[in-house]
Structure 1
Amino acid sequence: MAAARLATRQSGLLRGALTLRHSGVTAVSRPMSTAPSPKTLPSFSMQGKVCMVTGAARGLGYEFCRAFVSSGCTSLAVVDLKDEEAKSAAAELKTFAQATNSDAADAINIIGIECDVSSEHAVQKAYAEIMDTFGRIDSVVASAGIVENYSAFDYPFDRIKKLYDINVHGAFFTAREAARNMIPQGGGSIVLVASMSANIVNIPQPQTPYNASKAAVKHMASSLAVEWAKKGVRVNVLSPGYMLTKLTRTILAHDTELKKTWESLTPMGKMGEPEDLAGAIVFLSSDASSFMTGSEIRVDGGYCVI
């Protein structure tokens, strides 16, 4: 009997709905529920900050730029060795920014700057252009770097010098000019990109000068952090592990055994994706890490703990 009453009631409701439809009356439907927008701490936002990334036309540097844009940055300098590549990357990032920050599309200003970071003069010129364009600089990432694999006996000196000029001197020039412009405005954040190689010796590939250069970058950050701490400039280090950038994928496509070796030595059993660094770079560059300086964040799948 209860089932019959339920069926009768449902039938009556259906007839009522049909009557409303045919009589020309439009029933007001309840709006579809939408998922709430993601929430995060406001201190992680890069909105209103002027950012600069070196080595930004490709690889990890480019991913750092995307992370800043995704976190609300609309003022960004994309710095790389070749002018055409820097400007091309800047154009791509501007399109991405317009789609990501559509409500602030009119405020988006992303520029590409040619700069050889191993040249102090070139770095100073790049900062001059940034200051002329934006009037300030808040967050800088020194990401430009190279790596080569030669045994210690066979490593050509001119290649060692070039590696140090880019990885070590370039990081120093980038950090020093950043601080010179940040201190008068009250401070800022500098992130030097080192590597897990600053902490361990990679195998099986021989790369002694690279490992030593990244150890130098790590200690450089600690030293600069102490020197500038009371002036409002924070200096920290991001040390990636093995990351599957486009270049790395190309190399490993021809050496699958090396990829297996790297994965087997990583406790998580895999290599990282460039996107895995997004949270760390935003944390270090934003106000979320405002009481953090002279520190290192390793994103290496656990490689350095064994």
Structure 2
Amino acid sequence: MSSTPARFDSPVNADPVKLSAVAAKARVVKTLPEFSMSNKVCLVTGAARGLGNEFCRAFIQSGCTDLAILDLKEEEAVEAAEELVKAACVDSPMEPEDYRVIGIGCDVSSELSVQQAFRRVMDTYGRIDSVVASAGIVENYSAFDYPFDRIKRLYDINVHGAFFTAREAARNMIPQGGGSVVLVASMSANIVNIPQPQTPYNAAKAAVKHMAASLAVEWAKKGVRVNCLSPGYMLTKLTKTILAHDTELKKTWESLTPMGRMGDPEDLAGAIVFLASDASRFMTGSEIRVDGGYCII
């Protein structure tokens, strides 16, 4: 005696209209709540442009409404804050008054400037939950030709700036029960970039990576998590401008990347939200590389 087996529609056989409706519902309802940045006060350094600005955008898109944008020139930080709020309200039920996004001038190479910036943030919001130390510079000189004052400036911003930012974050987070600190390093913390010479930058980013691990151990029992995000070659506006005059360099970088392309800044959004949110609550002292596989080979 034969029987007809029950028929289950596979995605190939299913009604595409029904599938799209289900996907739309699932996208709204089934998002893991731990990834939400709502009710969190966030701070990002070097955030008027570049990757820091993309991190701010990712936080806003994940529900953050309280955000401090820090950059060297306050007018640029304020302008970036205004633009971010304006963009967030497009095709959204949110209104500009729903956001408290502020721009603050801060020279991260100055301990005093960082302290003053954090004081303004605490005066505005009363707490701080997620901090990203994204301010940094890169220059390309051979080791013999690298001027000492440029080396010192690079370390003051990339290394000392990350330390000052992390320390002030922890000082304010510990009394409130903890928080998340993300130090932005680079794949250069793990490999030597070619063909461009950049020894001080590589060493500085290696220092930032180990700094994150060291601070993570020091503050683990105090509720402050410290992790490291290491991007690969990213097509920021500045990078695009540089590569427009050196197409061969772009081809070289792409050929050395297993995925065969440079990253878009948006490729970092998921990683930064993961590290800054409660989704990574049992993770500290770790590095996430987003480099298209560059460090594998």
Fold shared per TM-score above 0.5: yes
- Checking the alignment, whether the CA contact within 8 Å between 1:234 and 1:292 is kept in structure 2 is yes
State the distance in 2 between where 1:71 and 1:143 align. Answer: 19
* Residue 176 to residue 100, structure 1, CA distance change in 2 (3 Å): farther
Q: Of 25, 34, 38, which residue of structure 2 is paired with 1:36?
A: 25
> What displacement does 1:104 show?
6.8
Residue of 182, 190, 207 corresponding to 2:198? 207
- Residue 188 of structure 2 corresponds to which residue in structure 1? 197
Aligned match for 2:127, one of 113, 136, 141:
136
Check if 1:258 corresponds to 2:258: no
Counterpart for residue 297 of structure 1: 288
Partner of 1:7: none
Q: Secondary structure at the match of 1:122?
A: helix
Residue 53 (structure 2) aligns with: 62
Pairwise mapping of residues 1-306 of structure 1 onto structure 2 (< 5 A)? 35-36=24-25, 38=27, 39-99=30-90, 102-103=93-94, 106-306=97-297
Contact 1:74 1:97 in 2 (8 A): no
What's the Cα RMSD here?
A: 1.2
Task: Return the letter of the residue paired with 2:43.
Answer: M
User: How high is the TM-score relative to the length of structure 1?
Assistant: 0.88
1:144 aligned counterpart, secondary structure: coil
Deviations 1:99-150 (A, max 9, x none): 3763475431000000000000000000000000000000000000000000
How many equivalent residue pairs? 274
Preserved CA contact (<8 Å) 2:227 2:286: yes
Is the 8 Å Cα contact of residues 85 and 96 (structure 2) preserved in structure 1? no
CA deviation string 1:44-84 (max 9, x = no partner)? 00000000000000000000000000000000000000011
1:2-25 superposed Cα distances (whole Å, 9 cap, x missing partner): xxxxxxxxxxxxxxxxxxxxxxxx
State how far apart, in whole Å, the 2-side matches of 1:94 and 1:107 are. 9
1:247 & 1:195 partners in 2: Cα distance?
16
* Higher-Rg member (1/2): 1
Structure 2, unpaired ranges of 5+: 1-20
Shift of 1:94: 1.2
Shift of 1:198: 0.1
**5+ residue gaps, structure 1:** 1-32
Which piece of structure 1 moves more, 171-180 or 90-99? 90-99
